[in-house]
Amino acid sequence: MKENEVPTKALKKGAVSDMTTGSPMKLILSFAVPLLGGMLFQQFYSLVDTLIVGRFLGVDALAGVGSTGSINFMIIGFCMGVANGFAIPISQRFGAKDYDGVKSYYHHGAILTALFAVVMTVVVCLLSKAILTAMHTPENIFDYAFSYIFTIFLGIPVIYLYNFTSSAIRALGDSKAPVVFLIIASGINIALDLIFIIFFGMGVIGAALATVISQAVSGILCVIYIKRRVPYLHVEKRHKKKRKGYFKVLLSAGLPMGLQYSITAIGSVILQTAVNSLGSVIVAANTAAIRVTVFFSCPFDALGATMTTYGGQNVGANKGERLNTGMKDAGILGIIYSVIAFLILFFLGRQLTGLFIESGVTNRAEVMEYGWIYLSINSAFYILLAFVNIVRFLIQGMGFSGLAVLAGVMEMIGRAAVAFIAVPIFGYPGACFASPTAWLLADIFLFIAYFHCRKKVLARSAPSAA
């Protein structure tokens, strides 16, 4: 293939998608629906994972695994954010039809991904016990929490592998292939959960190990797919020439996106610390409710990931005028789903929480009630969450990842304020307002930031438009 030539065969096979032309609503739906399918399946196996832990290992094991949720989000979220951020320059170069730039950024991103993976694995594994201690993890669940999270952290390299390769594929407009690999990995995870926990008696370590192995499989499948089906990412010798400018651009996109997750999670860690002080029953209820919430939040995550690619490609193509339409169409979808999700969780929240606890357990009714309180309060504010994802990831795709970090700061402030003020006064019901408070503060900032960023994009593209 000649330098910077369009791989037309790949286009005909539908391996990539140009989001710079056509109806934004249709493009967003066609990209988000497969992505949503994969996320739902991923969360389904996560739910199954939690069900198996809760039913076969008991409430303490469930609480132990759940107590690691915020630290897991803080560390693994940083890994995912960095890897996803590295794909933003790829989507922008693809939108600009600079295919050599796509390959060069992919190669340089792979180098940075490997470096981050090694350093982070060593650091967080050494600090995991100290972090759990600082979070006041209850003594009766501490060993469960440490065994689970330490094993998860050992798998950081494969988390980076999957997230970088899948993000690079999605940056070209292909949301289907990563979903297929995720579904395959999810099936493997469920099977390994049953084998490791029920047949081998490996406890929470078995649950964590099943997750790590399945993530490794999904990452390897992405690499194989890229080699066989994605010529846009086939790196040649000329693309391997080290350029400091490329590393700088990648880090300016990836680090803020990773920090956004981690800063947001700091508030969750503070909140989890406050929840831990309320006892293992509430920790278990919170764990089950969060698992249900994550499952129902998948459409918001899918919309967010879609808007990153949509924003990146259109900015790369100097089509800033399409940004408002895309945000509006995604917002309509988010609002419709938010209403549906609230109705389901309000009327079925207790039953969904109860799925995680064996019917004969003494505190089952109490866990279900606390879980319903969390689900009904949070889902009442899902419209706020929808726009947090839509606007934040659109801004990131536009190339303003630094501003997304400030949105994460707003979320952290909201959750920390609730942890320090509301929880001591109102107990667990007060903690349930932490996320809605965080979403509201983030939305106020994000809408202001978006219109500022859009103005800059339009000004930058004005000369070429003329």
Which of 120, 130, 128 minimizes the C-alpha distance to 150? 128
pLDDT digits 0-9 by tens, 420-448: 999 889 989 999 999 999 999 999 999 99
pLDDT for 10 equals: 45
Domain ranges of the chain: 31-465
Tens digit of pLDDT per residue, the chain (466 long)? 445 554 444 444 445 778 999 999 999 999 999 888 878 877 776 667 777 888 788 878 888 887 887 788 888 889 999 999 999 999 999 999 999 999 999 999 999 999 999 999 999 999 999 989 988 888 889 999 999 999 999 999 999 999 999 999 999 999 999 989 988 988 898 899 999 998 899 999 999 999 999 999 999 999 999 999 999 999 998 888 878 899 999 999 999 888 887 887 777 778 878 888 888 789 888 888 988 898 899 999 999 999 999 999 999 999 999 999 999 999 999 999 999 999 999 999 999 988 877 676 668 889 899 999 999 999 999 999 999 999 999 999 998 988 878 888 999 899 999 989 998 899 899 999 999 999 999 999 999 999 999 999 998 876 543 3
> What is the torsion angle, in degrees rounded to the nearest 10, for the CA atoms of residue 172, residue 174, residue 179 and residue 181?
-70
Is there a contact between 159 and 80 (Cβ–Cβ < 8 Å)? Answer: yes
For the whole prediction, is pTM greater than 0.85?
no
Which of 175, 403, 185 minimizes the C-alpha distance to 306? 175
Residues of 397-434 as b/e, b for ≥16 C-beta within 10 angstroms?
bbbbbbbbbebbbbbbbbbbbbbeebbeeeebebbbbb
In angstroms, the CA 325 to CA 328 distance is: 5
How wide is the angle at C-alpha 238 spanned by C-alphas 176 and 17, nearest 5°?
20
In angstroms, the CA 160 to CA 71 distance is: 17
pLDDT for 390 equals: 97
